[in-house]
Amino acid sequence: MLRQRTQTGLWITALLTGAVGVANLLSAVTPSLPDRLDWLEQIFPFEVRAGAHLFAVLSGFFLLILSANLLRRKRLAWLLTIGLLIVSIISNLLKGWDYEESLLSTILLGQLLLMGRVFTARSDRPSIIHGLQALVFALLFTLAYGTLGFLWLDHNSAVDFRLGQALKQTLTMFFTRV
């Protein structure tokens, strides 16, 4: 049986993981602050910043899913969450210099590293299958998100995207190195 302090830490970690996931999703769909964006536009091309948006969405989605598995002390969930938090930190900085979200992810990363010995449970086959299903759903969601984003750009810029072009551009950004 886990001590009360450890159990409380697990709950806080799971809730904070879900909160970081929601923060990533919300941050990815809201416009960046103009002064931060002006600075980033001088350093990184559009493709890097747009790719960071996609990674913020993906990491947010998966962090929401992993939060429940952290509560179950799954070791694989702990490892994946650490990796996704690193992606979250980088993508939030690249997409709009959102250091607030990056700081939240960094705090959670530190907490997870400190609690690493608590996550000892092995994943069972149904959990792995559920995770793979979530992966497929997330990839489809991201594809739809990117495609809709390019179609939205069509209405707000001089670039003319049709559905096929938007889908092609999303796949290009998703599967090629920027």
What are the domain boundaries of the chain?
4-175
Measured on CA atoms in the order 80, 81, 85, 86, is the torsion positive or negative?
negative
Judge whether 93 and 99 are in contact, CB under 8 Å.
yes
* Residue 120 CB contacts under 8 Å (≥ 6 apart), including other chains: 73, 75
Measured on CA atoms in the order 5, 11, 15, 21, is the torsion positive or negative?
positive
Instruction: Give how far Cα 11 sits from Cα of 3, 121, 171, Å.
Output: 13, 16, 37
pLDDT of residue 78: 96
pLDDT of residue 177: 40
pLDDT of residue 160: 65
Measured on CA atoms in the order 58, 61, 67, 72, is the torsion positive or negative?
negative
pLDDT of residue 37: 83
Q: For the chain, list residues with pLDDT below 70.
A: 1, 127-128, 153-161, 173-178
pLDDT of residue 153: 65
User: Residue 31: helix, strand or coil by DSSP?
Assistant: coil
pLDDT of residue 159: 61
Angle between helices 163-175 and 125-156 (to 10 degrees): 130
